[in-house]
Amino acid sequence: MYTQSLDLPGQAQQAAPITADLAEQQAAFDARIAEDGKIEPMDWMPDAYRKTLVRQISQHAHSEIVGMLPEGNWISRAPSLKRKAILLAKVQDEGGHGLYLYSAAETLNASRDDLVDALHTGRAKYSSIFNYPTLTWADVGVIGWLVDGAAIMNQIPLCRCSYGPYARAMIRICKEESFHQRQGFDALLAMMRGTEAQREMVQDAVDRWWFPVLMMFGPPDAASPNSTQTMAWGIKRISNDDLRQKFVDATVEQAKVLGVTLPDPGLVWNAERRHYDYSPLDWEEFWRVINGDGPCNRERLATRVKAHEDGAWVREAALAHAEKHANRATAAKAA
Ligand SMILES: [Fe+2]
Ligand SMILES: [Fe+2]
């Protein structure tokens, strides 16, 4: 299902031909969604459903590959061979996640070249969290614990997404994300059992990342007008605010085990709601960062574009190799 092929010229997928009456096709689609079934690439689907999925899956793919950069900065500076090997594997996993997701987007007739171009020219969004800097080794642990932890909370419900290829990609991704979260927690635990300076480094990183991580779940439900439709389509299963609350409730307990303080005086148990309350988030900061003006937006995009340009020869060689094999196969058939 998840083809690893590059976009070959003249090989764009064709949409399923419309053979039956449009109303009938819409009714069949609605019935499939109502019975919680899966929509597959060759099934008829409304244009808006397709567009929403292409946007969401490609933003997700962009987030995975831009997400390689903040931690990639630390591969050469990891404190031990063990931590270096773990971090290398983790960053490589994120590249793999991008690959599964670009492939899932391609099943919707999207061209990977167009999607990547939208990222590189600033037209496409990616997760705001990757525009924050990784100042110390503790940031790498905090990214694993909190950023991958938040990603898991977000992505587990996507394993039940109505679009088959996206749901199946997410099942694979979530398995790897749980390793990412644990390795981050483990790295932090080792530091918390170390020196006072290491404990301070962890606390400083937690202080800087906590609020941006909470914003990873997206704007409050009241400011998310498209959520109702994506939930009706079975793409999104749990609202932004409910996911954020689940994450806060789970993470407070983990912070106690770790021995760090979450930097929010408003974070208190609400016995009536049976959830933790937390302080309002700075949504102006969120919009500023998502719209290109975060601490590292320019650096991230420049690094990504350079990596793409530096890799041009690999893509050209892969295309030449694929064409050679295709020609050979054609010649063999003709013989
Ligand atoms: Fe990932
Ligand atoms: Fe991850």
Instruction: Output the pLDDT for position 300.
Output: 96
How many angstroms separate the alpha carbon of residue 35 from the centre of ligand 2?
32
User: 30: Cβ–Cβ under 8 A, 6 or more apart, which residues?
Assistant: none
Select from 298, 297, 306, 245 the least CA-distant residue to 129. Answer: 297
How many angstroms separate the alpha carbon of residue 155 from the centre of ligand 2?
11
Q: Is 202 helix (H, G, I), strand (E, B) or coil?
A: helix
Instruction: Output the pLDDT for position 19.
Output: 58
Instruction: Output the pLDDT for position 6.
Output: 33
C-beta contacts of 40-49 below 8 A and 24+ residues apart: 40/164, 40/165, 41/13, 41/107, 41/108, 41/164, 41/165, 42/16, 43/16, 44/16, 44/18, 48/229, 49/233, 49/235
Instruction: Output the pLDDT for position 197.
Output: 98
Which residues make up the environment of ion ligand 1, defined by Cβ < 5 Å?
64, 94, 97
Instruction: Output the pLDDT for position 319.
Output: 95
| Ligand located closest to 62 CA | 1
How many angstroms separate the alpha carbon of residue 66 from the centre of ligand 2?
12
How many angstroms separate the alpha carbon of residue 90 from the centre of ligand 2?
7
Give the E-state strand segments of the chain in sequence order. 268-270, 275-277
| Ligand located closest to 147 CA | 2
Instruction: Output the pLDDT for position 194.
Output: 97
Give the E-state strand segments of 156-308 in sequence order. 268-270, 275-277
| Ligand located closest to 127 CA | 1
Q: Are 158 and 166 in contact, with CB atoms under 8 Å apart?
A: yes
How many angstroms separate the alpha carbon of residue 136 from the centre of ligand 1?
21
Render each residue's pLDDT in the chain as its tens digit; 335 residues: 233 233 333 444 444 555 558 899 999 999 999 999 999 999 999 999 999 999 999 999 999 999 999 999 999 999 999 999 999 999 999 999 999 999 999 999 999 999 999 999 999 999 999 999 999 999 999 999 999 999 999 999 999 999 999 999 999 999 999 999 999 999 999 999 999 999 999 999 999 999 999 999 999 998 887 888 999 999 999 999 999 999 999 999 999 999 999 999 999 999 999 999 999 999 999 999 999 999 999 999 999 999 999 999 999 999 999 999 999 988 888 87
Q: Are 108 and 164 in contact, with CB atoms under 8 Å apart?
A: no
How many angstroms separate the alpha carbon of residue 57 from the centre of ligand 2?
16
How many angstroms separate the alpha carbon of residue 177 from the centre of ligand 1?
6
How many angstroms separate the alpha carbon of residue 175 from the centre of ligand 1?
10
Taking the C-alpha atoms of residue 150 and residue 197, their distance in angstroms, rounded to an integer, is 27
How many angstroms separate the alpha carbon of residue 87 from the centre of ligand 2?
11
User: 316: Cβ–Cβ under 8 A, 6 or more apart, which residues?
Assistant: none
| Half-sphere exposure at residue 226, Cβ-oriented, CA atoms within 13 angstroms | 12
Q: Which helix (H) or strand (E) holds 185?
A: helix 164-192
Q: Is 276 helix (H, G, I), strand (E, B) or coil?
A: strand
How many angstroms separate the alpha carbon of residue 128 from the centre of ligand 2?
15
Taking the C-alpha atoms of residue 88 and residue 116, their distance in angstroms, rounded to an integer, is 23
User: Model pTM?
Assistant: 0.89
How many angstroms separate the alpha carbon of residue 120 from the centre of ligand 1?
20
How many angstroms separate the alpha carbon of residue 234 from the centre of ligand 1?
22
How many angstroms separate the alpha carbon of residue 153 from the centre of ligand 1?
12
| Ligand located closest to 184 CA | 2
**Tokens 């300076």 — which residue?**
197
